[in-house]
Structure 1
Amino acid sequence: MRLIIQAAALISVIQAWGMFMHQRVVRRAGRPLIRYGPLFPREQERIQNLNYIYNCNDVEALWMLRMKRAAFAGLVETFRSRGLLQDSINTSVEEYFKQVLFAIGELRGEVIRIPSGQTPPKIRGSPRWYPYFKDCIGAIDGTHVTARVSRSQSAAYRGRKHYTSQNVLAAVDFDLKFTYVLAGWEGSAHDTNILTDSMSRPDGINIPDGKFYLGDAGYACRPGILPPFRKTRYHLNEFSGRNYPRTAQELFNLRHSSLRVTVERAFGALKNRFKILDQKPFHPYST
């Protein structure tokens, strides 16, 4: 009799459990399905893109990375060996972009070199410039780089360009190598104010005693900066054809301009290689 009672109780428990599970399935079937993002296809696409970068040739690498495969592999190995970057798939693009910028900044002592102080070979080997510019170590100028700022700040970042930008000060030597860069100033800021700020900083532009940079007419004549004569022909196209210099000031400006054009060539080469500098940025200005 006891066994019959226990068997009946077990059957009742099984029936109750079955009814509970059936009701649960019915309730879940009536709910809308929650579909998550296609993680696997996205991950598969990421792996395909990485394999394409790793296995591309130098022509494709220059198109995608603006550097050849060997240079890119060496840069990646430098970041890894020095602990500047680590492999990760759980970091957003914005966060990783900042990490890469920081890592590149840590290489500034190797990428940006300090002027040697010696007379550049370009000047020493030309009677047009030597000995008149024997103490010149390079040229400085500002260039505008597009910037994405809020509407309340757009007036300050909109200067002579029709778009919002930041005014970047740079110094280059006569090998088209950058020796100093200062970014962050508003596009409406004058070149002279940016230079003054740079020279007042502990880590600002360093001009050895007795040496100087060439600047355009937007800079004032001061120790370390040599601008051209004002209200006098200066640009190279003004001396084209038979428009030869007629005065000593014009001759000085012609030779000054033919040397200072180096910084314009450096900016042109930089923006031609890194097109993002002339395009609307997708990241905020603070980045």
Structure 2
Amino acid sequence: MDMNIDYENAMVIGAATSVLATVGQNLRFRVIGGYLYRSTDTIHRYFFVVLNAILKLYPDLIHLPNLSTPPEIRNNQRYYSWFADCVGAIDGTYIRASIHLEIQGRFHGHKGFPTQNVLAAISFDLKFAYVLACWEGSAHDSRVLNDALSRPHGLRVKQDKYYLVDMGYGIRNGFIPPYHGFRYHLKEYDDNPPQNEKKLFNLRHSSLRTTIEQGFGVLKKRFRVLDNDPFGSIKLKWIWCSLAVSCTIIWLE
């Protein structure tokens, strides 16, 4: 038996386990170290090595959608007549973060605790097409979108295509919000069917855009680190940004 190979295999398994247990179960390094019979410092090193490796997969796994009409729209007449050129939905979600005290104020949004505002584009088959993390929880959605569009390798929208967004992102080329001043959420139409085209558009818009809410919901349920008490021992901003992005990558693998 080659002891070197066995040791290397054990190292790889331990490193992968440290990340999966952290993001999936929100386990602390000390607990993971107890399971693997490794020191907390060793688990800490494992974690960062694998986390960086996962982030390098972003350009291979996170892709902007192609130009064809998504089958979820093409095969559904309720949506096709309204959204034939729509390629997905965009929204932000709040993910908890452990931030140094001196900058915590910027990360306190309406949740009442430090969060980051993570913007994502999701296709209608629940695949992430773009992710931008690191913005503080107090940042307005339109500001985060402006940043995504201004980056050299940021969010791009093909000509004549668009994403569904809420009113917080405003009206601009490539992004279609609902009509302002009309009912929007599905439950608002339970006992009062839409009576004109704008109301019907908002109903269809809301129904189709629930995709992104489902995507965020599944992501947070699968990766408990995103929606539970954060690690008090990790207060580096980029770590929490990296965790948010890495979870979307692992989901697609």
TM-score band w.r.t. shorter chain = 0.7 to 0.9
Q: Given the alignment of the two structures, is residue 183 of structure 1 paired with residue 133 of structure 2, yes or no?
A: yes
Are 1:93 and 2:43 an aligned pair? yes
1:247 is displaced (CA, Å) by: 2.1
Match of 1:277 among 226, 230, 236: 226
Alignment RMSD: 2.6
Using the size of structure 2 for normalisation, the TM-score is 0.77
- Counterpart of 2:213 in structure 1 is 264
What secondary structure does 1:128 align onto? helix
Aligned-partner SS, 1:129: helix
Unmatched segments (≥5 aa) in structure 2:
1-9, 26-37, 240-253
Larger Rg computed on CA atoms: 1
Q: Which residue of 2 aligns with 1:15?
A: none
Q: Is the 8 A contact 2:23 2:224 kept in 1?
A: no
Residue 159 to residue 63, structure 1, CA distance change in 2 (3 Å): closer
Q: CA deviation at 1:66?
A: 5.2
1:249-280 deviation per Cα after TM superposition (whole angstroms, max 9, x unaligned): 11110000011110000000000000110112
CA–CA distance in 2 between the matches of 1:216 and 1:102? 33
1: distance between equivalents of 2:23 and 2:105? 34
Distance in 2, Cα, partners of 1:202 & 1:140: 19
> Which protein, 1 or 2, shows the higher relative CO under an 8 Å CA cutoff with sep ≥ 6?
2
Select 1:109's aligned residue among 55, 59, 62: 59
Give yes or no for the alignment of 1:203 onto 2:153. yes
The question of whether the paired residues in 1 share the 8 Å contact of 2:24 and 2:224 is answered with no
CA distance in 1: counterparts of 2:44 and 2:193, whole angstroms: 54
Between the aligned partners of 2:139 and 2:21, the Cα distance in structure 1 is 34
Residues 90 and 156 (structure 1 numbering): CA distance in 2 closer, same or farther, change over 3 Å? closer
Cα distance in structure 1, aligned partners of 2:143 and 2:64: 23
Contact 2:96 2:229 (C-alpha < 8 Å) held by counterparts: yes
Query: Which ranges in structure 1 are unaligned for 5 or more consecutive residues?
Result: 1-46, 55-61, 68-87
Verify: 1:232 aligned to 2:187, yes or no.
no
- Output one character per residue of 1:106-150: Cα deviation in whole Å (capped at 9) or x when no partner: 111232122011000011111111132111000000000001112
Q: Deviations over 1:146-186 (max 9, x none)?
A: 01112221111001111110000000000000000000000
- CA offset at residue 208 of structure 1? 0.6
- Residue 171 of structure 2 is matched in structure 1 by 221
More helix by share: 2
Identity %: 46
Contact persistence 1:119–1:137 (CA under 8 A): yes
Asked whether the equivalents of residues 124 and 131 of structure 1 are also in contact (C-alpha less than 8 Å), the reply is no
Give the TM-score normalised by the residue count of structure 1.
0.68
- Whether 1:254 and 2:203 are equivalent positions in the alignment is yes
Residue pair 2:94, 2:116 contacting (<8 A) in 1 also: yes
Partner of 1:70: none
Partner Cα distance (1:232, 1:201) in 2: 34
1:211 CA drift (Å) = 0.4
